[in-house]
Structure 1
C-alpha cells in the first residue's frame, strides 16, 4: 500500500500518490476536516517507516503497470498522516528523483521548525504548506495540533522554509463554516500567507467526508469574500472547490487499486464505478471488499464515498 492512482488533482494534474506512512494515521495534527479520518497516533517524533529502496522499488513497479496515457505529472508524497514524520523522507525524495518525474509533497508544515526537515523538503520540486489559521486559538480549534507544537514557532518555521526553497511553493487554507471563515480570521491567515509569498495561495473547502461530522463548507459568499481578501494582498490565489473527476489510473489489480487509493483518498461512487469499468470488473468485487471490511461506505452531503476501513 505504498503508491496509488494516479488520481486527478486540482493542483498537480495526474498525481501518483505515495503513502510513506503505512500504518493507521500517524500525524502531528488531528484536523477536524481531515478526509483520512481520526488520528490514531498523535506524534511529532520522526521515525522510519519504509526504507527509500523499498519505496523506489514499489513506485517503479506501479509505474510499469500503468498505461502510457496514465503516466503521472507528479509523484506526490501524501500519506496516511504527515509525510515529514518519515525520518527517511529526504533520502526517499532523492531516490524517487531517479524516475525523472517531478516530486511534490503536501505537508501540514508543523515540523518545519526542524532545519533537517526544511532541508529535506527543499529536495522536492513542489511543496504545499497548510495555513488554516492566523492565530493560536483558531489553529488549535481547526488543526488540533499535537502537544509540544507552538503556533508562533510553527509560522516561523514556514517562513524560514519559504526563504530557502527554490521550487514551486503553494499554501493551502481550508475554510470551515463557523470555525475559521469570518472576515477577521481570514484577514489574519492572509497576512501570514502574504509574508510567506507563495507562488500560489489555494483556498479550499471540505468536499469529502470529514473526521468531525459537524464540519461544513462555508457559503459561496463567504468563499468569495475570502478570495478577495487574499487577492487584495496581491496574492496569486486560486479556489479549490469542485470535484476533481473520475479519471483514476489503474494497475490492473483492482483490489489493490481500491484499497490503496481509499486509504488516503476517499473514492466517490461515480469514480469507483469508473475504476471498476476500466478494470473490466463489476460491483461484486466492491461488495466483497465491503463485506470483509477492507473498505466502508460513508455518506457525505448527497454523495456516497468509499474509504479504507481500519479495524480497532
Structure 2
C-alpha cells in the first residue's frame, strides 16, 4: 500500500503517489476539509515507518507494471497523513533520485521549524506547502493542529524553508466557506504567502468528500476575490476548482490499485469505472470490497466516491 497511480494531478501532470505513512491517518493536523478523513492519530514526533529501501523497491516494482504512456512526470510523497513525520523521508528521496523522475512532496508545513525536516525536503525537486490562513485563530479552526504546534513557529518554518529551498516551491490554500474566505482573512493569508515568494500559489476548494460534512466551498464571488487579492500581491495565483479527469494509471491488479489509491485519494465513480475497464476487472469487485469493508461508498455534491475504510 506504499505506491498508487499514476493519477492525474492538476499541479504535477501524471503523479505516481508514494504513501509513506502506514495504516490509519497519522498527522499533525486534522483539517476540516481533509479528503482522507479525520486524524486517527495526532503526532508531531518523527519516527521510522518504512525502510527507504522498501519504498525504493516498491516504486521500482510499480513502474515495471505500468504502461509506457503512463510513466509519471513526478514521484510524489502524498500520504495518509503528514509525510514529514517519516524520519527517513530524506533518505528515501536520495534513493529515488537514481530512477531519474523528479520528486515532489506535498506537506502541511507544520514541522518546517525543525532543521532536519527542512534538510530532508531540500532534496526534493518540487514542494507544496500548505498556507490556509495568516491568522492564528483561523489556522486553528481550519487546520485543527496538534496542541504542541505553535503558529509563530509554523510561520517561521515557512520563511526559513523558502530561503533555503532551491527547487520549485509552491503554496496551496484551501478555501472553506465561512472560515477563511472573507476579504480580511484572504488579505492576511496573501501577506504571509508574499513572504514565501512561491513559484505558484494554488487556490483550491473542496471537490471530494471532506472530513466534516458541514464543510462547503465558497461562492464564486469569494473565489474571485481570493484570486485578485493574491494577484495584487504578485503571488502568481492559479485556481484548482474542477475535476482532474479519469485517466488514472493501472498495474493490472484492480484490487490493489483501488485500495492503494483510495487510501489517500477518493475515487470518483466515473474514474472507478475507467480503472476497472483498464484492468479488465469484473465490476463485482467493488461490491466485494464494500461488503468486506475495505472501501466505502459515499455521496458528495451529487457525485459518488469510493474511499478507504479503515477498521478502528
Q: TM-score range by the shorter chain?
A: over 0.9
Give the Cα–Cα distance (whole angstroms) in 1 for the partners of residues 74 and 234 of structure 2: 28
Give the 3-state SS of the residue equivalent to 2:171 in structure 1: strand
Alignment of 1:1-312 (within 5 A): 1-312=1-312
Give the Cα–Cα distance (whole angstroms) in 1 for the partners of residues 229 and 236 of structure 2: 12
Deviation at 1:239, TM superposition (A): 0.2
Deviations 1:261-289 (A, max 9, x none): 00000000000000001111132111111
Give the Cα–Cα distance (whole angstroms) in 1 for the partners of residues 51 and 220 of structure 2: 44
Deviation at 1:83, TM superposition (A): 0.1
Give the Cα–Cα distance (whole angstroms) in 1 for the partners of residues 311 and 90 of structure 2: 31
Give the Cα–Cα distance (whole angstroms) in 2 for the partners of residues 154 and 307 of structure 1: 30
Structure 2 residue runs of 5 or longer lacking an equivalent are none
Give the 3-state SS of the residue equivalent to 1:289 in structure 2: helix
Give the Cα–Cα distance (whole angstroms) in 1 for the partners of residues 303 and 61 of structure 2: 33
Structure 1 residue runs of 5 or longer lacking an equivalent are none
Give the 3-state SS of the residue equivalent to 1:264 in structure 2: coil
Give the Cα–Cα distance (whole angstroms) in 2 for the partners of residues 87 and 134 of structure 1: 28
Cα RMSD after superposing both structures: 0.5
Deviations 1:273-312 (A, max 9, x none): 0000111113211111111111000110100000001012
Deviations 1:121-140 (A, max 9, x none): 00000000000011110000
Give the Cα–Cα distance (whole angstroms) in 1 for the partners of residues 39 and 23 of structure 2: 11
Q: How many residues align?
A: 312
Give the 3-state SS of the residue equivalent to 2:263 in structure 1: helix
